[in-house]
Structure 1
Amino acid sequence: MYAFMCALGLLGPLLPAYGQQRYSQLAEANLAPSATIGSLLNADSAGATLLSAALHFSGNLRVEATRFALEPALAEARSLASSLQDEYALGEALLSLAHARFLKRYVELESTLDAAVLDGRYNCVSSSVLYLLLAKEAGLRPLGIVTTDHSFVALALGDGRLIDVETTNKHGFDPGSKKEFLDSFGRTTGYAYVPPSDYKRRSQVSDRHLVGLIALNRATLAERRGDQLGAMALAVDAHAYMDDDTSRQYLGDRAHNIAATLLNAKRWDEALLFLGRVADYYGSLADLDALGMQARLALLADNVSAMGRDEALAELERAYVAGVVSSSERQEFILAIVSRAADELRKREGWLAAWNALAKAAGDYPSIAQLKGLAATARSNWVADTHNRFAAHFNARRYDEAQAVLKAGLALAPDERLFMDDEKALKSALTARP
């Protein structure tokens, strides 16, 4: 199937945790096409070149065995071309040849050419590529066709007709037409009928694109089992060979997932290294610019969290000037830095110190309304704390100590209603004291 070559999104949380060496390998993932693809880039779409690419994308374990098994079929395709002058009949005979010699069992996830030729296991991608090779060998003009979740071939005949070939079905030549079954004496014994498919969004693709789908499907499977380096290598080769929007987007998705793995593991430096290398090699790709900004913000957040208030604010300003953070993000960082510092101050010195720090910050950054709210909250907590200390002394009849606490509070907040009520209570108690 063509469908499972879709992007997998953020894979980091789905993959096992890696060690330091593995994260470094991801950051240093190879971004250059292999030497094999390099040798094919300037070649045309002749059958031999397409076959070499298909075998490379299928993996390098059974290349010679697959070539050896294919050669008699290619020779038969040439022979059929000599004996059948009618292109329609020749195209149908080639589909029968593919199924008679090779295609035995449909397996949705089996896209490789060697599996189709040597094992008989195939899907729409591998069967389409096999038919493409046979048709080209016979001198026909096959065209790759893809939909959102399927691939097949169409034959462009000399009379102007375009004949669809559903390569996954041995009766799939020209779907919608009735096929006769003949016995050995040429008598009709039955019919086969494959209904035409209603593909609303079919697109014609290049020969290289159709062959490259083998690599894209293998890359998706590699990524699903956690082999992101293998998936990236296949995507790099596929894009170098296909060189179209689909392969570029697919490459961007694989790069996205490597970056996401590093980001989810909080490997900010490795993520930025990888994203920078991709940008240098391919320019702006998919949503990697946004991921890079996320990594820089996360790295900044980590750095400032380990700094004191003034040092953190200075680091933030440098990042703001450098364009790492936006104006709104700068305000969020300031709020976080100042509130964290105020809380640490509260733990050491109490609510009064926190209130003073937040009130000063609210004056320094008047556009950040939340700072005023935090300062007001700190003041309320200081008032409550002061009242509670006053009440503890007052209830124990330690009026002198209560008066000292209240005096200090009124000096800072003379209009505070709670303090004024405390003052009345204290005066009454002192008046009633013998």
Structure 2
Amino acid sequence: MRRYKTRVVSQRAQLGNSPENQIPAGGGMLRIWKESDRVLWMLILLYLVIMTVAALPTLQRRAAANRPATLLEMAWAAEGNLSEADRAAAQQRLTRHLAWMENNLPAQWGRYSIQERAEWVFQSMHEHLLFGEYDENQNTLSKALLEGNYNCVSATILYQILTDRAGLPTVAMQTRGHVWCRLLSRPELDVETTCPTWFLLEPHDQGQSPAIQAADEARTLSARGLAAKIPYNKASLAAAQGDYSGAIEYLNFALSLDPQDAAAMRNRSAILNNWAVACIGEKDCQTALDILERMEAQRPHDPDLEGNRSKIVDAVIDQWCHQGRYSEALRLLQMQGDPSQSRHSVRSLYQAWIQDAASRGDWYEAKNALRLAISAHQDDPLTVAQLRRQYRQLISG
């Protein structure tokens, strides 16, 4: 048994060492496979590099879209129809001034108080940028930079941009019809950005300003809200010139920037109301009713508009009755939520219809109007009797 085992082992050893069963190291199919594998991975890596490079512009745009817009970017957007040339020129002027600020900071700037730094930025703004005049209707940043004229909106936007670059904490403030800047120092300091000598005024004189007089009525204004004041003011100017359609477009733009602007909502309703009244004066009843529907859709059940709404409806009914459109006038009156708010009633309109038809000698129309009136007041026997009496009197007359 031992010999047998020894011989088998020897045979196996010889078989394992035979040249026929040895594979040369680094050659044959193994070498071919490794070479193709390396080429494949190189192609995959090249593909990934190409795809990453191609996707960079898209990734950059997405990153820019997700980044909160700055006040400057929102101010440019809020101007709406600003040309690229004017924007570039205004941006260049602002960039030059920011560079001038950095190169001309007073010595030992770090030892200045927050108020002293704010005063230096303020004075440089009025000396180098806002060198023109106060213009109530000039509320765009581009014109402030290019022409030097300004109002409270454009001056406050510009001052906030400059103080932000100088590292000063500020916030925009608002009250009815006015905005300004508040320096978040200790104590806080309100800055009337439209007054070039603000920091030179005595406290008593500063106390007479709208900013100080506003007291607790003053409200903070976000960057979006401040930028939204640009189209908001444009809307007021357009409405004053009778361009109600343009005014509504400006206000819709303002509300897209700052949806919580209660003043813009109120102004939109007021301008729509004035537009509807103007349409009534031009005998354009259909447009007036379309505008009325927009008012109701935007601010339903607004108590401030109920009185105006009734006046518009009454004016339309008056015109339609004058044109002989009594059935339409009746439908409009009956569509109102509270017909009692109107100076018309269903009965008075039927009476006017019967009277008008009889005056024209159209007794068929008069009788038909009476029949409709009786049907509408079938639950009111007294009114029905009075209408019949009116009809008999007209016939006998």
Aligned partners of 1:232, 1:195: CA distance in 2, in Å?
36
Aligned partners of 2:362, 2:227: CA distance in 1, in Å?
71
Structure 2 letter corresponding to 1:171: T
Q: 1:250 to 1:302 in 2, by over 3 A?
A: closer
Residue 172, structure 1, aligned to residue 210, structure 2 = no
Aligned partners of 2:271, 2:99: CA distance in 1, in Å?
39
Q: 1:170 to 1:294 in 2, by over 3 A?
A: closer
Q: For structure 1, which runs of at least 5 residues remain unmatched after alignment? A: 1-39, 179-192, 386-434
SS at match of 1:213: helix
Aligned pair partner of 2:143 in 96, 115, 121: 115
Q: Deviation of residue 366 (structure 1)?
A: 5.0
2:281 is matched with which residue?
A: 264
1:239 is matched with which residue?
A: 255
Q: Deviation of residue 229 (structure 1)?
A: 2.7
% identical aligned pairs: 22
Deviations 1:45-100 (A, max 9, x none): 63443443454487877222111111112334455499622322211111011111
Q: Deviation of residue 370 (structure 1)?
A: 12
Aligned partners of 2:289, 2:101: CA distance in 1, in Å?
52
1:132 is matched with which residue?
A: 160
More helix by share: 2
Aligned partners of 1:285, 1:329: CA distance in 2, in Å?
16
Q: 1:298 to 1:81 in 2, by over 3 A?
A: farther
Aligned partners of 1:67, 1:93: CA distance in 2, in Å?
22
2:123 is matched with which residue?
A: 96
Tell me if the contact between 1:218 and 1:234 (Cα under 8 Å) persists in the aligned partners: yes
Structure 1 letter corresponding to 2:119: E
Tell me if the contact between 2:231 and 2:251 (Cα under 8 Å) persists in the aligned partners: yes
Structure label with greater radius of gyration: 2
1:333 is matched with which residue?
A: 346
Structure 1 letter corresponding to 2:239: E
> TM-score, normalized by length of structure 1?
0.58
Q: Deviation of residue 256 (structure 1)?
A: 2.8
Aligned partners of 1:242, 1:308: CA distance in 2, in Å?
43
2:3 is matched with which residue?
A: none
SS at match of 2:190: strand
Deviations 1:88-133 (A, max 9, x none): 2211111011111111222233222223211111222221121111
SS at match of 1:226: coil
Structure 2 letter corresponding to 1:172: W
Aligned partners of 2:309, 2:85: CA distance in 1, in Å?
37
Aligned partners of 1:48, 1:203: CA distance in 2, in Å?
21
Residue 144, structure 1, aligned to residue 157, structure 2 = no
Q: 1:289 to 1:135 in 2, by over 3 A?
A: same
Aligned partners of 1:333, 1:84: CA distance in 2, in Å?
78
Q: Deviation of residue 154 (structure 1)?
A: 1.0
> TM-score, normalized by length of structure 2?
0.63
Q: 1:298 to 1:61 in 2, by over 3 A?
A: farther
Residue 199, structure 1, aligned to residue 213, structure 2 = yes
Residue 251, structure 1, aligned to residue 279, structure 2 = no
SS at match of 2:300: coil
Q: 1:297 to 1:177 in 2, by over 3 A?
A: closer
- Write the mapping of 1:46-65 to structure 2, written as runs, cut at 5 A: 46-53=70-77, 55-56=79-80, 62-65=86-89
Q: 1:278 to 1:64 in 2, by over 3 A?
A: farther
Aligned partners of 2:65, 2:244: CA distance in 1, in Å?
24
Structure 1 letter corresponding to 2:76: S
Q: 1:227 to 1:60 in 2, by over 3 A?
A: farther
SS at match of 1:252: helix
Structure 2 letter corresponding to 1:173: F
Tell me if the contact between 1:297 and 1:325 (Cα under 8 Å) persists in the aligned partners: no
> What RMSD over aligned residues (CA atoms) do the two structures have, in Å?
4.7
Tell me if the contact between 2:333 and 2:339 (Cα under 8 Å) persists in the aligned partners: no
Q: How many residues align?
A: 318
SS at match of 1:69: helix
Larger RCO, structures 1/2 (Cα 8 Å, 6+ apart): 1
Aligned partners of 2:301, 2:109: CA distance in 1, in Å?
49
